Every structure is written in structure tokens, then in C-alpha cells.
Structure 1
């Protein structure tokens, strides 16, 4: 763990193992922290906050530029660590490191764009000045599916705003966080500005961050159930929260779309990170006139996908993160088949060629999905593409919005009017129109309804870490 500028273990020496989900082999150990270490980290961040916040935006920007440079210089090492620990193919891991580095670069620049304002006053002897100042100590909790970029997406805007940070990475992927904090150390961030607590059990660490009044904001990416708990607990201290939670993204192929082009996009985004992404399409709505052509192209593309260890050349489908994920997907697929779904390809765990040592599920294409099936209602987080036929635009908009989630949605159409209507009618925080990657460090990312609160990225991302202060002056 990295606390107050030093690498430490726990007093008892207790650690926990980290395994490669492709091979089940132990690849490292990290300290098993808890309440005591979290309190140490909070104290370090609290003590460091006044000096860090007092630096000029240009000074804080310089540290972020250095961290960006170091991250790019160590791109291959970070990517290989990620593939061994999380399982994603090495090419995808390299792309994630680049994406994560973008947040450091963007907020190195955005730190200098935190503008105030003056407001005309009703009295001639009065002046109003608005300032934006850092909220204070930030508790950050990051997920396992994007174990590098989710760190920078939270830490970069927090540091740019003048906040200090205590970060708890997912228990499945702490090695990526350790490597990232080594780079923060090399960037010579002052002691206490960034702190890392690793733990096998996230509850004591998270609860301490929630209960300690010195922590003024919590930012969390993970499940909706945990996000709701954080929001409830944070309310007792009116603690600021940013929550990026689950998704159940619809992918809509309109009747005027090119079904081959749409299938290419759908398969690329569906099987990104083996389907383990919150913006992964979970319900693929295809106009009934396009279903046959769409399924044919989708099946061709899936047949070319190779599952295996992400370090091997040609692999595009990595393992699931663990046995629970495997069981959930298997249950959803079996439930769909029992209720009348059709397997076009896949639909089973992969066991041959040494894959039985890891948690591999075949890339799967299902047809004839209906609202009564679990997969229609529940987030899958795996390599299963469920196709739902539909007949009219009004029908598909209603079906797409029939969820308590609201993170991402996708629409393929060649009609500009339809594209605008869909963008306005779909109740999702992100809508990609003929675009399967509607994200960037410069763009706000976040959801509606039970997919979260707040935004990460863009100007909105740094605003989440700032308080607004009004100065009224009588002159």
C-alpha cells in the first residue's frame, strides 16, 4: 500500500493472492488492509490537502503532465500487468492504457480552466465574485474491468481540482493500481496527495471512507446495489458522491440501416473486454426485416473470434473475471433457452485446449429473446449477444427504455431525422448514433436513473470535485 508517500504493509504482515483468470495461477500478493490503514491514508490525505490546494493550477498541472509522460513510457509494462491480472487481450490492454493516459493529459490542461465569474449586483456599493474551490479529501473506489483507466478517470480530475485522494482498487485487480501508484511516486507528487489501500474485503475500507467526516466526497464505479448503499450512507453527512453504476444498453438496428455494417459494430462493442463493460450492449433490437441478414453477419464474425490467454497472438476473447461471473452467464443463457430462445452459436463454457483452467465462456449469439427472460432484464457482463426482433420505431423506443438502467444506448440508422428522434427519446446518458465508442477524456460519461449520479470526463468531470463559493463585497 502507498500511504503518505511510503510503501507499507499491514502490521500483521497479512496479504492476499492475486490470480490470473486465464490460468488460475497466482501471479502476486498484496497487503490485506483494513480500517487502520484506511484511517492512516485519510489522515495523510487530510494533512496534505491544504498545501496541495494552495498550489497554483499551473503547478498541479505540471505533476499531471509528468504522470502522463511516465504512463506512456511504461505503456507496455502496464498493459502486460493488466492482461495477466484481468485477462483482457494484450491489444485491448494497450488501448486502455492509452485511454487512461488521456485523462491525465486532459485534466493537466483542464486544471487551468477552472474559471470563476463576477455577477452584476443590485446595489451600487456591492460586488459579487464566484470562486470554485476543491471539496477536500476524496475516497475513490475503482472496478476490476478497467483497472487502469478508471483510476486516472477519478484521480486526474480530483488532483487537477486541488483535492487529495485515498483510492481502494477492486480486490481482483490491485496489481494494476500498485503499478500506477509507482508512477505517481515517480512524478514526485507530494506525500499524502495520493494514497492506495488494498484489501481482500472491500467492506471495512469502504465503510471507513463513508463514516470518516474528513472524507468529503466519494467516487465509485461498480454495481448498482453497492452504489445505492454508498448513496444512503453518504447522505448522513451530506457527503458528495459520484456513482457510475450498472448498465443494460440497447443496441437498435433500424429498418433503414445496413445490417452488415450494424452487425460489425454490434459485435465489436458487444465482445469488447469479453462483454465485461458497463456500456456493453445487453439487448440488441433488430428490425424484423433485417434479422436474417444481421444474424448471418454476426455469426460469421463470432466464428472468427479466438478465446484464450490474452498474451497469445490472435486472441480476442479473454476469460471472465471469476467463477461467479461464469455461473451467472450460464444461468441467464439456460433460462432464455427454457423460455424459447434460439442459440445461433456458442451457449456453453469453453473447456478444451487448456481453457478449463480459466473462466472462459464461448462468444454466444441468441435469437428470439423476449421480455420474460432474465437476460432481457438483468445485466449480463459477459460474451452473450441477445437479439430481439421488433416491428416499429415507437415499439423499439418503448422496449429500449423499459429498464431501470440508463447508461448507454446505440442506434444504427441512415436517416437523420430518425437519428435525432432516437437521441432525444432514449433515456440514457450516452447515445451512440452509428458510433460504438462514444467516449473520450474530453466528453462527459455517466448515466441516468439507476445507472448513476454525476459525470466523469470533460468539463463536467472536474466540476464534480469543486465547491462553488460566493463572495459578496460591500465597497
Structure 2
């Protein structure tokens, strides 16, 4: 069993104490992560600030090349990182599991490396010239979650480096090992202090709270729950940090009466159950028109029965990633079983395993509908009037994503544009891509990621008037 180290100022840093990282697959200890302290965070921030003075002045083509090296290093060590990720997070290696995540991380790194934010000329006439320049902010603090640890880390790290910022990253205590190793690999070619990683168990020590209030950090990027995002928002106010917050979602899907239940069943399933439902932009509620409600329930159940879940190597759905989340999912399912009709699943397996669960005939005020379950269960609800379905879909404090399923694409687009969410899909759900801005409205987030719009979030604007 390996005992991992933090990376600060380009050097491995050992600590006096460590905490165990436990596999949700079998409860075994898969490694030990360093128990960082506020002093370690201060050292990391100081190193990042010192590195910023030179990294921010590095020519654009050199920063591009460094980000391309990130993608190359991920490809070179993809299997090693995937194995480590499966050990600590529990997702299978195959299907949409750890190897899929490493492929996504490489794709995002490569695309982001290709982006640039050139100065814009806003005016150039006899009255003068006005230019808009984008400049790096400083030290970026990154806090990442346990569901897609490496891919989301890349979403935070690469645009920060591409725009001339330096980074201090803190991964979730449930999944710190793969991030520690990844940062170690990147420090083989990055200048010292440009990318630093600190870890803690969030119980004995909580460096995340210290990061969001730290005066040496100029921007925070956080992906996680809305309650924690509110805390980051509040503690960042004292130092007026720039913020990008990608928070919880309770995404709704709406199936129109002209849809073919058999044709859409596979897309509906993976829209809800990708990564075992542990995805912010997964579909969490499904509204189906009366005319095809029973047919959709049947087709979705039939498809779900074909999906292999469990501890076997050929399974494409693994365990719930930690006990806290397992208990929440189990609570919501038990409550829903007393009110709805269980089409599939509804009973826990061994350890942290819970098979795909479909529950029909629930009401809008049932907790499984109103709360973000973040697990392998989907509530299915009836509607008869499309205006009512849209209103019910929008009746949430969240607004991350939504989808409409129909053979009539123009009609579906019209309805999708009425959904109060940052991303809307037609005949699919949760399919994000590196060239399309992604972010939430209402309490699902602040700012966007990906593409030019996401890259610009890592810069300050300076207007130059000549």
C-alpha cells in the first residue's frame, strides 16, 4: 500500500500524519493520503504566487505547449491513473468508467490547449483606438469532487495554466490519490510552483474553507454541492475573489407524446445512470406524457435489465462511491417505495452496491423528486399538458441541465428553450463537450466552464484607450 505525498513548489512534501483512502468496492484501504495543515496551504499559496510572477509572463506558445504536454502525459499514464481511480472511487475500468474518464480528461486538455484569447480592437478611428486585453488573475484555488476526480481537475487546471495563472488544488478526501499522482506527473515538466496539490480529510483539518478565504488566492473554482458552494461564495467575499462554481443539479427530462419509447430507452437510461447517477448533469427526474407513459416505463425497464451492475469485472456500473452518499440514496429510495411503483431494483446489494432503480407514479413533492439523489435511481412522473410539464420541470431551485425527447426537433427546441437551465439537450441528456460552454443558472452555479467563454473566466479584463 502506497503512502502518497503532496507536491508543493515542485517538491514532494511528506506530513506527520496520513489518512486512509478506502475502496467502495470492497472496503479495503487502497492508499494513504497526507494530512495537510494550514501551514502547508500557506506554503503552497506562497509558491504559486512566486511562480505567477514568471509564469504569467511566459509566451503564449510556451503555455500552449505546456498544456499539450498535460494531454500527452495523461495519455502516457492513462492506464496507471485509471487503475488508481477505480481503486479509490469504485467506478469500473470499462464502459463509462475510469478509462472513459481518462479519455475525457485528455480530450479536454488537448482542446483547451488549442484555445487563445487574443486582444480585441473595440474602436479604431479618428477619435482614438480602444483595445480589450485579457490578463491572468493570479493564484487559482481549485476544489474538486469525488465523482469525476481527474476529469474535473483537468477542467480546473488546464484553463488556469493556459491563461497564465498558477494553481493550488485540493481534491476530495474520498478520492485524493489519483489527483496526487497526476499532479506529481505534471510537475515533471511544469516550472516549480505553477501547480501545487494539498490534501486533508476535511474532518481533522478543512483546507477547503481556508482556501476560499485565503488572501493569497485570487480566484476559486469549485465543483460540488450547492450548500458547500454557498459557503465558498460567502467566505470568498472578504477578499473579493473571482469565482466559478459548478454546483448541484436536479435535471428534468420531458418526453413528448410522439417519441418512440423503444428508440429512446437507451438514451434515457444513460442520461440518468452515467457514472451510476453520480453526475451533476445527469437526469434526475423524468416527465412522460400520458399517451406513452406505460410504454416508456416498460421500454426503460427492459433496457435497464440488460445493464450489468455489480463487482464483476465485466460490469459497467459499480458501487456508490462512499457511505454518506449510499445512505442518502437508500433513504430516498425507501421513502419513494411507500408512495410509488417500483419498476426495477429498490433493494441494496452487498456493501456499497445498489442496482439501477426505477420508480414510477410519484408526485412532485416526494423527496426523491425534490432532492438531488445523485445515485442509481430515477423517478418517472406523468403529465398530460406540456405547459404543466415545463412548469413542473422549472419548479426547482436548481437549473443545471434539462432535456426534451421527441421526433419533432423544432418542437423540442421550442420547449427546451423554455427550460430554466444552463444546458438543454434534444434526444440526449448530459452530453457535455469541451467547445460548448457549461454552467448552471439559479442555484446550480456561478460562471461557466469550457470553450472561449470558460477560458475567459480565468482572466481579468484591461481596457486600453489610446
Scaled by the length of structure 1, the TM-score of the pair is 0.94
Report the Cα offset of residue 437 of structure 1.
4.3
2:341 is aligned to: 342
Match for 2:118 among 115, 123, 137?
A: 115
**1:49, 1:412 → 2: CA distance?**
47
Report the Cα offset of residue 128 of structure 1.
2.3
Gap change, CA 1:411 and 1:386, over 3 Å in 2: same
User: Are 1:141 and 2:143 an aligned pair?
Assistant: yes
Gap change, CA 1:30 and 1:288, over 3 Å in 2: same
Match for 2:392 among 396, 399, 405?
A: 399
1:328 is aligned to: 328
Deviations 1:271-296 (A, max 9, x none): 21111111111111111111111111
1:422 is aligned to: 415
Match for 1:6 among 2, 11, 17?
A: 11
Deviations 1:48-73 (A, max 9, x none): 00100000110011111112111112
**1:207, 1:400 → 2: CA distance?**
33
Answer whether contact 1:249 1:282 (CA < 8 A) is retained.
yes
2:202 is aligned to: 201
Answer whether contact 1:253 1:259 (CA < 8 A) is retained.
no
Answer whether contact 1:265 1:436 (CA < 8 A) is retained.
yes
1:274 is aligned to: 276
Answer whether contact 1:255 1:289 (CA < 8 A) is retained.
yes
User: Are 1:365 and 2:353 an aligned pair?
Assistant: no
1:376 is aligned to: 369
2:231 is aligned to: 229
2:3 is aligned to: none
2:406 is aligned to: 413
Report the Cα offset of residue 228 of structure 1.
0.7
SS of equivalent residue, structure 2 residue 140: strand
Match for 1:90 among 90, 93, 110?
A: 93
**2:125, 2:74 → 1: CA distance?**
51
User: Are 1:100 and 2:93 an aligned pair?
Assistant: no
**2:74, 2:125 → 1: CA distance?**
51
Gap change, CA 1:79 and 1:257, over 3 Å in 2: same
Report the Cα offset of residue 7 of structure 1.
0.8
Map 1:2-401 onto structure 2 (within 5 A). Answer: 2-10=7-15, 13-91=16-94, 92-110=97-115, 113-120=116-123, 124=127, 126-186=128-188, 188-201=189-202, 204-309=206-311, 312-338=312-338, 340-350=339-349, 356=350, 358-401=351-394
Structure 1 portions without partners, runs of 5+: 351-355
**1:224, 1:282 → 2: CA distance?**
16
Deviations 1:360-386 (A, max 9, x none): 112111010101210110000111111
Deviations 1:358-416 (A, max 9, x none): 31112111010101210110000111111001112111111110101000111111113
SS of equivalent residue, structure 1 residue 84: helix
Query: Alignment length, in residue pairs?
Result: 458
SS of equivalent residue, structure 2 residue 174: coil
Report the Cα offset of residue 251 of structure 1.
1.3
**2:296, 2:129 → 1: CA distance?**
63
SS of equivalent residue, structure 1 residue 301: helix
Report the Cα offset of residue 121 of structure 1.
6.4
**1:402, 1:274 → 2: CA distance?**
25
SS of equivalent residue, structure 1 residue 90: coil
More moved, 273-282 vs 215-224:
273-282
Structure 2 portions without partners, runs of 5+: 1-5
More moved, 436-445 vs 18-27:
436-445
**2:287, 2:198 → 1: CA distance?**
42
Gap change, CA 1:472 and 1:290, over 3 Å in 2: same
SS of equivalent residue, structure 1 residue 148: helix
**1:272, 1:120 → 2: CA distance?**
48
CA RMSD of aligned residues (A): 1.4
1:353 is aligned to: none
Answer whether contact 1:121 1:127 (CA < 8 A) is retained.
yes
